Structure 1
Amino acid sequence: MSNEHEKYLKKLKLNKIRLIVTRILILVIFIALWQIAGDLKWIDPFLTSTPSRMYKSFMSFYNDGTLFRHIWITCYETILGFSLGTILGTAIAVILWWCPFVSKVLDPYLVVLNALPKVALAPIIIFWVGNGMTAIIVIALLISIVTTIISVLSGFNEIDKDKLMLMKTFRASKIQVLRYLIFPYSIPVLIAALKINVGLSWVGVIMGEFLVAKEGLGFLIVYGGQIAQLDMVMMSIVILSIIAFIMYEMVAFAQKRLIKNKSLEK
């Protein structure tokens, strides 16, 4: 390794450390200013809460043993809705790619379903599947599945036509085209769909918990608002933000690993 290359790598590492430190400092300063503003009554701590009040609320739920139960319920619903939405959406996209005529027939319906506010369907879903966890998972599934179908199918259809013609010239079957061309070259699209689904699944689960749940972080947000315990509301929102960020980073980590493995194969 040359000295210039070594200096370049050190510079990249230093920039990465500087970026992480800056992000942490911004967060620490924000939390400190929030706490100071609440203590000095620059803001109304009843309406905006403060980090110390949220910590007390957190410890209260932790001590009575219900905190992790609420977190687990919401995470379970989100992961299940996220997984089902991604798997089923990708499977349907494969079917539509396989049958171009069906894809063209269903295209306007997919556009309408994608534009339709899924909140409007929530009462119907609750009536169909019951008032419980199943309804919440179905809502999360419906919010993510249409977006997955559209984004993945668009990625499939954007594959280089010359590569498709080459595969057909060698008399490759549709399964071979799908396995050796479509899927490998659509990995960025699939990862992008996963990233989108992380946020959409959380939206669906929290919306469902607002309507029917008796447990979960969404329930705590609604219940805290009803009894004017905004510390509970803010605490639940912060926990949701942290968990959603972790899920997003897990998908980003998987993306980096796939890209790294793909580059090593080359």
Structure 2
Amino acid sequence: MRDEADRLEQRWIQELHQEYRRGRRSQRRLVTGVQTAILLLLFVLWEIAGRMKWIDVLLFSYPSKIFTQIGKDAISGELWGHVGVTVGETIAGFLLGTLLGTLLAVLIWWSPFLSKVLDPYMVVFNSMPKVALGPIFIVMFGAGFTAILMTTLSIIVIITTLVVYNSFQEVDSNLIKVVRTFGGSRRDTFQKVILPASFPAIVSTLKVNVGMAWIGVIVGEFLVAKNGLGYLIIYGFQVFNFTLVMSSLLIIAIVATLMYQAVVYVEHRLLSGRPHR
């Protein structure tokens, strides 16, 4: 009788879990459907406003012209080189900036003295307009990939360092005391308490860094590039081809969204097995 009761209880729990998952899937589909409907509605209203001359089409264009521009550039092959350059620069800045920022956060956590020394400098550097550093990077590294990468790193590294370091500081002090009570070293404290507890914050920082990487690369391309999506935007302004400008912005939005969703997927896979705090 007891075995039968256990089987019934397990079956009941499984049915509840399946019902919960169905509800989650249904909610995700509903959210996706509403998001898609809103996006389509905005494009339709934009198209109508452009064709009815409710907006200045010279400045704002409208979707059919933008998609025609994208299709023409894609068929000619001109578009892919620009997209490839910008995406490559963005991924390089994103990965390297996140890595360097995380390592710097670990370094200043490891050395309280270094943390006190660097704290005001990081705050000041983070408050500086990074566009102003662009000409300096151009003079130092030349008008090319390195200058764009350094502009991107100047945006990502400090933000990553501050966010990750603050997550280290917010770890429950009682957990740290337990490790030290049992004779754990600073390395043990970091490996067994600080890093595991901060891992969700580190992974979530990737989401922020996607946007920061795009900002850094586009700003860098505004200043020095002769190809890339940032170059197309500047060129479009110079020749008053605002359809080219808007098409470049739309491509940036699409690729940035794909990168963000890739980060969300990685986050889900890495954190799905972790218990909720």
Distance 1:126 1:167, change over 3 A: same
Query: What stretches of structure 1 of length at least 5 have no aligned partner?
Result: none
Q: Tell whether 2:97 aligns with 1:124.
A: no
TM-score by length of 1: 0.94
Q: Tell whether 2:81 aligns with 1:47.
A: no
Q: Tell whether 2:192 aligns with 1:196.
A: no
**Cα deviation, residue 176, structure 1:** 2.1
Aligned partner letter, 1:133: F
The farther-off stretch of 94-103 and 172-181 is: 172-181
Query: What stretches of structure 2 of length at least 5 have no aligned partner?
Result: 1-10
Q: Which has the larger radius of gyration?
A: 2
Q: SS of 1:90's equivalent?
A: helix
**Quick check: 2:151–2:217 contact (8 Å CA) kept in 1?**
yes
**Quick check: 2:204–2:267 contact (8 Å CA) kept in 1?**
no
Q: Tell whether 2:24 aligns with 1:18.
A: no
CA-to-aligned-CA distance 1:169-220 (integer Å, 9 cap, x gap):
1222222222221111101210232111111111110000001000000000
Give distance in 1, aligned partners of 2:223 and 2:132: 12
The farther-off stretch of 169-178 and 120-129 is: 169-178
Equivalent residues in 2 for 1:88-237, closer than 5 Å: 88-237=100-249
**Quick check: 2:225–2:231 contact (8 Å CA) kept in 1?**
yes
**Cα deviation, residue 260, structure 1:** 1.0
Aligned partner letter, 1:191: V
Identity of paired residues, percent? 42
CA-to-aligned-CA distance 1:80-128 (integer Å, 9 cap, x gap):
1111111011111111111111101111111111111111111111111
CA-to-aligned-CA distance 1:29-86 (integer Å, 9 cap, x gap):
1111211221222223222111111112112211221211101100111111111111
Q: SS of 1:262's equivalent?
A: coil
What value does the CA root-mean-square deviation take over the aligned residues?
Answer: 1.7
Structure 1 equivalent of residue 79 of structure 2:
67
Q: SS of 2:53's equivalent?
A: coil
Aligned partner letter, 1:125: F
Q: SS of 2:171's equivalent?
A: coil
Give distance in 1, aligned partners of 2:199 and 2:192: 12
Q: SS of 1:119's equivalent?
A: helix
Structure 2 equivalent of residue 239 of structure 1:
251
Aligned partner letter, 1:173: S
Structure 1 equivalent of residue 274 of structure 2:
262
**Cα deviation, residue 250, structure 1:** 1.4
**Cα deviation, residue 166, structure 1:** 1.0
Give distance in 1, aligned partners of 2:206 and 2:33: 28
Give distance in 1, aligned partners of 2:211 and 2:185: 36
Q: SS of 1:261's equivalent?
A: coil
Give distance in 1, aligned partners of 2:163 and 2:206: 10
Q: SS of 2:272's equivalent?
A: helix
The farther-off stretch of 61-70 and 235-244 is: 61-70
CA-to-aligned-CA distance 1:202-248 (integer Å, 9 cap, x gap):
11100000010000000000000100111100000000011111111
